[in-house]
Each structure stands twice: as structure tokens, then as C-alpha cells.
Structure 1
Amino acid sequence: MIDWLDDTLPPFFPDTHQALDDPNGLLAAGGQVSPRWLDEAYRHGIFPWNDPDEVRLWWTPAPRAIITADSFRVPRTVRKLIRRSQEAGHTISFNQAFAAVIEGCSAPRDYQQGTWIDEDILENYQRMQHAGRALSIEHWDARGELIGGCYGLLKGRVFFGESMFSRQPNASKVAFGQAAPLLFAAGIRLIDCQMHTQHLAQFGAHEVSRQSFEGQLEQHSQQAFSLRLPALLLSHERRP
């Protein structure tokens, strides 16, 4: 049994230890995805995820997959992909096309039906980005076309990764592999990956207990911090 959140009241979530074990992390239903609700949710490591035709569902799975500066790595195969993309004249940028990235992430995938990114998510996460509380990473080909990227929310020194997309093979891997080191260098201490996947494990994602995750979240998300990143991360001219 999970709690129903009244969207006519100020945002409030149950204690995360009330989340179900099956399905893992389901905590509550209802509420809104307005910036106020999102701020309160992510402060506790809670995020929305549901099919568009379902009621709003809120999750906080345990164990939690995270990447830290100490655990992050770029595997050899991705380093080769990065080098090839550089030689092909590709560029990586921050926050230059947030709307296009989240719309790219909302497109149905070959391996799944539908999407969980509905119109409310599209609208309100863009509002968060306009307020400086969300971030997109873009991968552009040599013609200036967006071929992949990822986005997430920012709170203190924590980046909550939300979704990735690729229109060419490995485009999101190349983007993340180049952007993450700059995020850590700029002061991010924790990247929340939500659930463990092999895709993220190759970058150093590992699982920690709820207690460990929420301790790190409290430590790093409450710090006053202004993330400073270059608009254009990388530009590499074609080699002869």
C-alpha cells in the first residue's frame, strides 16, 4: 500500500523507508511535477516515473546506482569512440538545446513501447532548466545536427541523471564520457544513476545502500554551489 499525494497541498512525501521492495522503490502516487514538487522530491532522492496513461508515480529504489569522482572511468572502447568522433569533427556542448534533448529522450525506442516523458515532464523540466536547476549535454555531428545527449536535474553538487538518447550508435556514450569529467572537475560530487545498468556500470556506476546514498545526498545537495561549465565542451577539427 502506498500513500496518495494531494496535489492541492504543499509538496510532501512519505519517509523513503516506506518504499516498497516489490516493485523496488515505489513510494507514492499522485502529486504534481511542478518545480516545487520536483525540488522537494529530488531533495530526498525521489523521482517521478510512470507511463503517460497512468497516475503519477514516485520512486526511490534501493540499492541505488551512483557514480562518484573516485569511481568514474572511461572504458577503452568509449575512449576509442571519443577519439573517432573528435576526428570526425563532432562537438559536445552543455545546455545549448535542452528542449531538443528531452524531446529526443521522449521518443519511443526500438526496444520499448511508448515513453514515460509526458507533456508535464517536458514542460516542467524545461522550467527547471530555465531556472538553472537542470542540465543537458548535447552531441553534435560535423554538420551541426543533434545526434545524441542526456539531461538531468541539479541540486547542490549532485547531478540527477534522467535519460539519454542516441540517433547514431553510441552517441550518448560519447557525450557522457566527455562531459562527466568536466562535471566532476567543476565541483559535482555525485551523479545519481537511479538504477544499475551495464551501460552505466562501464563508467563506474555502482550500487550503494539507501543509508549510504541518502547520507551522500544530504551532504552534497545542501551545499551552496554554482556550476560553471563551458557552453562548448569540445571542438576538434578534422585531421587531414
Structure 2
Amino acid sequence: MISPQELLSAYANGAFPMADSRDDSEAKWYTSSRRGIIPLEQFRVSSNVKRIVRNHHYHVKFDYAFRDVMEGCADRDSTWISHDIVKSYCQLHRLGYAHSVSVYNKKWELVGGQYGVSLGAAFFGESVFGWAKEASKVALYWTHKALKEGGFELWDTQFWTEHLSQFGCVEIPANEYEKRLDSALKKEAVFEAVQVQ
């Protein structure tokens, strides 16, 4: 298992762990010459997602079912979220550094979610999943809301992807990322539940 101290030190230095498979016993550490971030003021979702949020189509909880959200993110044919990584981040969650947004249907069945790590005013989005219509996007919508209200200034997605670009994700050089990370680490922010009704 990766210790909380090792994880937090890695994030503070721009690195993050990924395993080769679900059963991989040892994660590898990665950095990137170009980094994906979502500028908080540029975040966007479709009008359909806004309508789903407005109509309270789903229930939303913050830091409510952290392990379940991680397991949901890992529930795919190929994943970098190993059993060891789940244990490591659950420990980080208990210490108040890892957070989740969970999305439930009307029967209170988990259908989507997102988790990540907070350090200073930086939030490192790790993974997101959705098993129902737009549930993953609803999780990102509420993550953004919590980051804005909590005073965060950096939302790291690690990599830029075409999928993430629809939410406002952009790619920046590593040296620019390091400056933004350094600035965010010197500030305080709080990830906590926001009003969803």
C-alpha cells in the first residue's frame, strides 16, 4: 500500500500513481510534459445536464461512499485502479485529503461518481464513472460547484482528452503547470458538501 505521506508528497511534486491492472501489486509513478487542467471559470456542461440537475433527476452526496465510488471507477475491462490503490486512497480519504461525489437514482442506487485528492487549493481529479444517463457529467457538475465554493484555484485532470475538452479541459506545458501548482499549494481551500436542492 502507498502511504499517505508518499501520495501527498508525489502530488505536491506533480506526480501521480497508476497500476497496470486491477490486480497489479505495485503502482508506477507518472508525470507529464503536458498537463490537462480544467480552469474553473471555463468549466461547462450541456444544457441537457443542467436540466437534469435542475429537475433533481439524481440524488447527490459528497464524501459519502468513497470506496464505492472508487470501485465504480475501477469497474471496467481495463483499469489502472488496482486493489492496492483503492486501499491507499481510502486511507487518504479518512485523513481528509481524498474526496468523492456520488450520484444516485431515485431508488438510492449508486449510478455515477467522481473522486480526487485535495492539497492546498489544488484538486487532482482522479477518475469518474457513470452507469446511467449523464450521471458522470452530473458528478463533474457538482465537483465543480464544490471546488468553486471551497476556494480552489487549480483543477488538475492529469491528461487532456477529447472527452474532457467538452467540459473546458485545456492542455498546458509542464512548467506552467508547476507554477500554478506551486501557487495553489500555498493557499487554503476546503472540499465540502454544497447545497444541491
| Deviation at residue 83 of structure 1 after TM alignment | 3.6
2:12 pairs, out of 25, 37, 43, with 43
Looking at structure 2, the residues matched to 200 and 181 of structure 1 have their Cα atoms a distance apart, in angstroms, of 17
Identity of aligned residues (%): 35
Q: 1:151 aligns with which of 103, 115, 128?
A: 115
In structure 2, the residue matched to 1:8 is none
Q: Contact 2:150–2:189 at 8 Å: present in 1 too?
A: no
* Maintained 8 Å contact 1:165/1:172: yes
- In 2, Cα distance between the equivalents of 1:233 and 1:148? 18
Whole-angstrom distance in 1 between the partners of 2:176 and 2:189: 25
Which TM-score applies when normalising by structure 2? Answer: 0.90
Counterpart-to-counterpart distance in 1, 2:125 and 2:89: 12
Structure showing greater radius of gyration is 1
Matched pairs, number: 195
Residue type of the alignment partner of 2:99: L
Q: Do the aligned partners of 2:3 and 2:88 also contact (CA within 8 Å) in 1? A: yes
**1:148 to 1:66, Cα distance in 2 relative to 1, 3 A:** same
3-state DSSP of counterpart to 1:65: strand
Question: Is the contact between residue 94 and residue 233 of structure 1 (CA under 8 Å) also seen in structure 2?
Answer: no
With over 3 angstroms needed to count, the CA separation of the structure-2 counterparts of 1:135 and 1:228, relative to structure 1, is closer
* Secondary structure in structure 2 of the residue aligned to 1:175: helix
8 Å CA contact 2:25–2:84 kept in 1: the answer is: no
Q: Give secondary structure in 2 for the equivalent of 1:96.
A: coil
Give 1:114 deviation, angstroms. Answer: 3.2
Gaps of 5+ in 2: none
Decide which moves more: 144-153 or 75-84.
75-84
Structure 1 counterpart of 2:68, which letter? A
How has the CA–CA distance of structure 1 residues 228 and 136 changed in structure 2, closer, same or farther, with 3 Å as cutoff? closer
Which amino acid letter does the alignment assign opposite residue 33 of structure 1? I
Which of structures 1 and 2 has the larger relative contact order (alpha carbons within 8 angstroms, sep 6+)? 2
What secondary structure, in the 3-state scheme, does the structure 1 residue paired with 2:176 have?
Answer: helix
Q: Distance in 2 between matches of 1:148 and 1:208?
A: 28
Alignment-derived partner of residue 227 in structure 1: 190
Residue number among 34, 52, 58 corresponding to 2:29 in the alignment? 58
The counterpart of 1:214, out of the listed 146, 169, 178, is 178
Following TM superposition, by how much is the alpha carbon of 1:69 offset from its aligned partner in structure 2, in angstroms?
2.1
Deviations 1:138-174 (A, max 9, x none): 1111111111001011100111000111121321111
1:5-44 aligned at under 5 Å gives the runs 33-44=2-13
1:102-113 mapped onto 2 (5 Å cutoff): 102-108=70-76, 113=77
Q: Which runs of 5+ in 1 are unaligned?
A: 1-31, 236-240
SS of the residue aligned with 1:154?
strand
- Kindly indicate whether the alpha-carbon contact (under 8 Å) linking 1:137 and 1:179 is maintained by their aligned counterparts in 2: yes
Query: Which is helix-richer, 1 or 2?
Result: 2
Conserved? CA contact 1:91–1:233, under 8 Å: no
2:49 paired residue number:
78
